Every structure is written in structure tokens, then in C-alpha cells.
Structure 1
């Protein structure tokens, strides 16, 4: 093994190569400590022992950094439990997502803001949402009921409460995204859902959604649940 020596002759350990993974994991750790508002390229570079310009080989700008940080924390959500029924599988994944957000209290705000700004979520988030739709479908849900279930769950799928289905039709496509045909092939459940939903261009909760119906569906579902709890109390 070749040692690296300093001018004083002392042996030094070889520096771990800089990578996008290291940049993102360091950014997540710094955000956990001081919040995302205080995060800067300078602070990340300082923590990694490099000059700030070195970071831009791995993340082009602050938005790309934030998107990558979302991917890191979403990647911490547990995979579906093998052999579990749909209800248990969804519940455990959502609770795992909530535990992830408790570890990273800055994450809900960043997820919410980036989902509003991006035309589509990142590939990592799409993969997660696609798997959740797949659990409903494998559990026997019709595509229509799956659509409503995703609305009711909303951002609870990621551990907090905020509507996921913002209308992004007026935004330019993300330059880092594959063409629609490749997206459809890679995420078949999302494609199936998107093709099956009737579009309502005036909807404020997302293209393809009937605001009034979704509101009443969620309200009735909540009231039915409360009635059931009342009856069993």
C-alpha cells in the first residue's frame, strides 16, 4: 500500500474521492444539524474539505442539490414488507416515511416546495409513488379507486400532509427527465393511472381530478371512519 506523506514526513490517509453521493449525504447531515435555510455550498465544501467549486462537478445548482437531498431521504423509506396485505403494506411504508421525516425535519418543506416548482417529481420519488400505486392495484383496487386512494393519502404517502397532485401542465419539462415513453415504460402504474383518469383542466388539485368529487370522497371517507370508531367505542 502506498502512503501519502506530508511535508513534515508524517503518514496521511488517502482522501476519499469526492462523489455526488458524498456531497448529498453531507448536505443532508448539515441540514439535519442547522436546517436547510442555513445550508450553502461553502458549508458543504468546508465539511468535505474541498473548495466550493469542486461541488459543482456533482451538483449544478441549489435546486439540483435539494432534489438530490430528497432522493437521499426518500431512499431511507423501508421497502414493502414481503407477504403483507395491501393495508399493512401501505400503513408500514407511510409510518416508515414519517420516521424518516422525524429524522430530517427540514424535508417536508423542501419536498413540498420542489414538487411545486418541478414539472415532475424526481425519478426516485416517482419510483416510490409507483410502488405505492402498485400495492393498491395488487391488493385488488380498481384503477378508479386507486386514483381516489392516492388523493386521500396525498402527501401522507411521504409522511406529512400536503396535496401531491399539483397541476404542472404549464411548466417546462425537466431537462434531466427521460422522454414520456420511457417514463411510461419505467413506471407502468403511474402511466396506467394517468391514462385512466378523466381530465378536468380547471381542477386546483391537479389535471385529471374533479375537485368537488375528491373533496366529498375524502370527507365521506373520514366521516365513515369516525362513525366506525364511534360505533365500536
Structure 2
């Protein structure tokens, strides 16, 4: 049932994924669902746990950077497959086993690599804010590929009045360049991710010295 619920949410979004919609998809009466879950919140807990089960867990060891990068890329990919899940991944009051294991693995990777508790929390917070924020922006921009982004940029460019070139030269430059080469989500995500990981690596000794 949980797999079916995830499939419905992938298709119609989380607002459209009602108990009635799910029961129709399964070919049962709505009350039959309550033999398996107590309520919709219970169902959402299970659905979110399925998404977490798709995220690569970072391994413990000295190479924390590669593991954090792998985990971050995997989380973004999972959010791309299940866009409804963004906003639900961190707020479950009764997280399931995959959810708990994923968070424990992330903290374990950092702590086993010598991160202090506070530094591990800083790193986790910064990475997750970046991943969820990027995935949310990705969901809202209205295109999927670099080629599609180029077409959208050309449309925006053509709709601008002639005066825009003088009023907003740097913005127009960005639109013109995007209309040529497009915006590649994966390239931009991984570029920003590397910047963030480089920053953690550089600031980590300072945080430890400052007791942060």
C-alpha cells in the first residue's frame, strides 16, 4: 500500500494524494486502508520512509567529503523522483527505520571522521538546507533539461522591452547566455555542493578551536 501511495503522490502531488484517491487506485473502499494505517499522518510517515530508503547512506571512515557528496547527490535525486516529499523529509514526529538510519549514518560518518558534535551539526544543517533549497528551486523553475531552460530563456529575452538592455545589463547578459547553453541542474547543484564542502573543510579547524 505504501508503494502505491508513493506512486499516486508522484503522479498527482501530495495534496491530490487523499485516502479516497489511494483507495480508488488500489480498487478498495477507503475504510479498508485503515486496516494498515491509523490515519493519513501514519501513511505519510511510511511514504517518507520509502523515500529515505532510496538515499545512499554515507559510510564511516576518514573520507567524509566523498561520502557526504555521494549522499547529497543521492538525496537530490530522490527528491527529483518524489518532488512531493520536499518539506516532509525532516519533520516527521514518528520517523521510520529508513529515516532514522539515514540520519544516524550521516552523523556517524562525520563523527567517525573526527568532527566534533557541534561541527557535525553545522555541516548537516548546511548541507540539508542547500539540498532541499536547490530541489525546491528546481521544482519551481518550470523546465527539466538544459535545452528546455534555453528555450525558456529565449522566451523571456524576447518579451523584454528594448530599454531592459540598459536598465538591467547583467541580468540580460545572464538570460542571453542561458539562451545559448542552457542551465544544467546537475552541473549547478554539484558546483554549489563542492563549494559548500570546500568551505566545511576549510572552516572545520576554526570551528573546533572555537568550540563550535
TM range (shorter): 0.5 to 0.7
1:31 matched residue in structure 2: 9
Say whether residues 1:63 and 2:41 are aligned partners. Answer: yes
Indicate the SS of the match to 1:109.
coil
Deviates more, 1:34-43 or 1:73-82: 73-82
Q: Unpaired segments of 5 or more residues in structure 2?
A: 135-194, 203-212
What residue in structure 1 maps to residue 54 of structure 2? 76
TM-score by length of 1: 0.53
Deviations 1:97-117 (A, max 9, x none): 1000001111103336xx1xx
SS at match of 1:59: coil
User: Which residue of structure 2 aligns with residue 160 of structure 1?
Assistant: 132
| Structure with more helix by fraction | 2
Q: Residues 175-200 of structure 1: CA distance to partner in whole angstroms, max 9, x if unpaired?
A: xxxxxxxxxxxxxxxxxxxxxxxxxx
Task: Decide whether the 8 Å contact of 2:61 with 2:112 is kept in 1.
Answer: no
Matching of residue 127 in structure 1 with residue 105 in structure 2 = no
**TM-score between both structures, scaled by the size of structure 2:** 0.57
Cα 1:84–1:73 change in 2 (3 A) is farther
- Residue from 114, 122, 126 that aligns with 1:140: 114
Kept in 1: contact 2:72–2:127 (CA 8 A): no
Once the 2 structures are TM-superposed, how far is the Cα of residue 94 of structure 1 from its aligned partner?
1.1
**Alpha-carbon distance in 2 for matches of 1:120, 1:141:** 28
Pairwise CA RMSD of aligned residues? 2.7
Q: CA deviation at 1:154?
A: 3.7
* Structure 1 residues without counterparts, runs of 5 or longer: 1-22, 163-220, 229-233
| CA displacement at 1:60 relative to structure 2 | 1.0
Report the 3-state secondary structure (helix = DSSP H, G, I; strand = E; otherwise coil) of the residue aligned with 1:140.
Answer: coil
Q: Secondary structure at the match of 2:28?
A: coil
Q: Within 5 Å, give how 1:47-62 maps onto structure 2.
A: 47-62=25-40
- C-alpha deviation, 1:65, in angstroms: 1.0
Please state whether the residue corresponding to 2:89 is helix, strand or coil.
Answer: helix
C-alpha displacement of 1:123: 4.0
